[in-house]
Amino acid sequence: MKILKRFRNLLATFLLAFIFAISNSSGFAIAADEAKADPYNMRVSPSKAVIEEKLEPGNTYHGKLKVSNDGTKKFNFQATPTSYAVDGESYTPVFDKENDYNKIREWVTLSQTTGELQPGESTEIEYTIEVPSDANGGGQYAGITVQMVQDKEKEAESTGFDVTNQIGFVIYAEVDGEIEKTGSIVDNKISGFRFSPPINATSVVENTGNTHFTAKYIFKVLPFFGDEELYTNEENPQTALILPDTRYMNTMTWEGTPSIGIFRVHQTVQLNDENNTQSTVEKLVLVCPAWLVFVIALVLFVLIFWIVSRVRGRKHKS
C-alpha cells in the first residue's frame, strides 16, 4: 500500500505543477520594427497568363504585362523570354530546363527588352507568340524573366553591394491538334491523429496527358457531433494548374484548429480532365497534445496498479 500512496502523491504533484504552469503562463508579444520601405522594389503584374483559346499553328498571338517600380529609387530592368518547367512534386519553378512542352520560348518576342523606371513609374511590355505551322498539338509553357539591373559602380559607392531582383512571368498555352487531357489522383489522405494543430490533408495529382488541366481542392471540417461546418472552402476552393508529365503534391490546412478535439474531416480533389476524375476521402481526426497523452497514460497506469493491488490485497486477506 505504501507504493500505491507514493504513486498517488506523484500523480497529484504532477497535476498540481501542470495546472500552476498553465494558469501562470502568458504569451510573449514580440515587438517588431516597422517595416522599412524597400528602396528597390520591382513588381510584375499579372504573375501569369493562361491563354484560354487554342493557339492555331501558323497564327500570331499578342499579350502584355506590366513592370512597376514600387520602391524609392530608380532602376533599370531587362526582360528575357525563357523556358518554363517545374521540379518535383513541390512544383519549384525552373526557367532553364528545356523539354517538349516549352518550345514556345522560341516563338516569343518582346516589344522591349530593357528600360528604366523612376519611383512610382510603370511600363507595359507586349509579347508576341508566332506559332510555327508545323507545331505539335498540346500544352506549351514559357516564362518571361524581368531582372533589375543596376549600375554596379554607383551602387557600390552608395550601398556597398550590388542590387539584383528577378521576377518570372509565366505563359500557359495550348496548341491545337492532338490533345490528350488525362490525369489521375495518386494519393488523397488525411492523418487520423495529431499531437498539435493544425489539421491538414494531402494529395498527389499526376498529369498523364500532353496538356495542362486544373485541379480543384475542397476541404471541409465538421465536429464529431453535429453537421455545422467548422471550416469549409466550398465557395472559394483552391485550384492549381497541373502540367503534363508531372506530379503535384498539395496540402490543405485548417489554420483555426483547436488544441484538443475530435473532428470529421473531408477532402475532395476534382480534375477537369477529359474524364472529370474525382476522389473524396473522409476521416475522424483526433487532436491531442503529447502532455495530455502522457497524463492519460499515467492515470491509466495508476488506476490499473490500484485495481491490481486491491485484488491482490483481497486474495491475501482470504
Q: Is 309 contained in some domain?
A: no
Percent with pLDDT over 70 in the chain: 80
Set of cell numbers at residue 139: 500544352
Same-domain pairing of 54 and 166: yes
Set of cell numbers at residue 55: 493557339
Same-domain pairing of 281 and 215: yes
Choose the final residue of a domain: 110, 141, 175. Answer: 175
Order of strands across the sheet that contains 60-69: 42-45, 60-69, 122-130, 108-110
Same-domain pairing of 61 and 134: yes
Q: Is 13 contained in some domain?
A: no
Same-domain pairing of 190 and 160: no
Q: Is 162 contained in some domain?
A: yes
CB atoms within 10 A of CB 283: 15
Same-domain pairing of 213 and 230: yes
Check if the beta carbon of residue 55 is closer than 8 Å to that of residue 140. Answer: yes
**Residue 149 confidence (pLDDT):** 85
Q: Is the pLDDT of residue 292 over 50?
A: yes
Look at the chain and report how many structural domains it folds into: 2
Q: Is 301 contained in some domain?
A: no
The enclosing domain of 145 has a CATH number of 2.60.40.10
Same-domain pairing of 74 and 189: no
Domain that holds residue 149: 42-175
More confident residue, 305 or 175: 175
Same-domain pairing of 120 and 227: no
In the predicted model, what is the mean pLDDT of residues 237-258? 97
Per-residue pLDDT band at 165 (split at 50, 70, 90): confident
List phi, psi (to 5°) of 181: -110, 80
Whole-number Å distance between alpha carbons of 101 and 271: 20
Same-domain pairing of 72 and 149: yes
Q: Is 293 contained in some domain?
A: no
Q: Is the pLDDT of residue 307 over 60?
A: yes
**Residue 318 confidence (pLDDT):** 61
Candidate from 11-15, 58-62, 127-131, 230-234 with smallest mean pLDDT: 11-15
Per-residue pLDDT band at 53 (split at 50, 70, 90): very high
Choose the final residue of a domain: 156, 175, 194. Answer: 175
Closest by CA to 103, choosing from 49, 50, 64, 142, is: 142
Choose the final residue of a domain: 147, 175, 203. Answer: 175
Q: Following DSSP, what letter does each residue of the chain receive, concatenated?
A: -HHHHHHHHHHHHHHHHHHHHHHH--PPPP-PPPPPPPSS-EEEESSEEE--SPBPTT-EEEEEEEEEE-SSS-EEEEEEEEE-EEETTTTEEESS---TT-GGGGGEEES-SEEEE-TT-EEEEEEEEE--TTPPSEEEEEEEEEEEE--HHHHHHHTSS---EEEEEEEEEEESSS----EEEEEEEE-SEESSSPEEEEEEEEE-SSS-EEEEEEEEEEESSS---SEE-TTS-EEEEE-TT-EEEEEEEETT--SSEEEEEEEEEEE-STT--EEEEEEEEEE--HHHHHHHHHHHHHHHHHHHHHHHHHHHH-
Q: Is the pLDDT of residue 48 over 70?
A: yes
Q: Largest Cα–Cα distance of the chain, in whole Å?
A: 101
**Residue 299 confidence (pLDDT):** 76
Q: Is 247 contained in some domain?
A: yes
Q: Is 11 contained in some domain?
A: no
Q: Is the pLDDT of residue 51 over 70?
A: yes
Check if the beta carbon of residue 198 is closer than 8 Å to that of residue 290. Answer: no
Same-domain pairing of 139 and 192: no
- Identity of residue 108: V
- Identity of residue 127: Y
Whole-number Å distance between alpha carbons of 107 and 125: 16
Whole-number Å distance between alpha carbons of 193 and 289: 10
Percent with pLDDT over 90 in the chain: 69
Same-domain pairing of 219 and 235: yes
Same-domain pairing of 170 and 241: no
Whole-number Å distance between alpha carbons of 95 and 102: 10
CB atoms within 10 A of CB 28: 4
**Residue 294 confidence (pLDDT):** 63
Same-domain pairing of 70 and 167: yes
**For 191-235, what is each residue's pLDDT tens digit?**
999 889 999 999 999 999 999 999 999 999 999 999 999 999 999
Whole-number Å distance between alpha carbons of 71 and 114: 18
First and final C-alpha spacing in the chain: 17
Q: Is 259 contained in some domain?
A: yes
Candidate from 15-29, 46-60, 91-105 with smallest mean pLDDT: 15-29
